[in-house]
Amino acid sequence: MNVLTHEIQTHWMVIRPLFAIHNEHDYDVAIERLNELLDEVGTNERQIHSMNY
């Protein structure tokens, strides 16, 4: 195991509970967060398609 992998595992153990889904409420909260993230960083399909040409 390299140093970076070890560091990632160490930090992941601390933040892992923030991302755990244990019940329906946690699931609903996670979906809400994902939707907000998609709204924030969503794509503009016209821009993407125009970049391909």
Do the domain assignments include residue 30? yes
Do the domain assignments include residue 6? no
Query: What pLDDT is attached to residue 28?
Result: 95
Question: How many Cα atoms occupy the beta-carbon half-sphere of 43 within 13 Å?
Answer: 7
Calpha distance 51→17 (Å, rounded): 39
Do the domain assignments include residue 13? no
- Give residue 8's identity as a one-letter amino acid code: I
Do the domain assignments include residue 39? yes
Do the domain assignments include residue 9? no
Domain containing residue 53: 22-53
Do the domain assignments include residue 16? no
Asked whether the predicted pLDDT for residue 1 surpasses 70, the reply is no
Q: Which residue has the higher pLDDT, 51 or 43?
A: 43
Do the domain assignments include residue 53? yes
Query: What pLDDT is attached to residue 44?
Result: 60
Counted domains in the chain: 1
In tens, the pLDDT along 5-45 reads 888 888 888 888 877 899 999 999 989 988 998 888 876 66
Asked whether the predicted pLDDT for residue 49 surpasses 60, the reply is no
Nearest to 43 by CA among 19, 28, 51: 51
Give the pair of three-digit tokens for residue 25: 């409420």
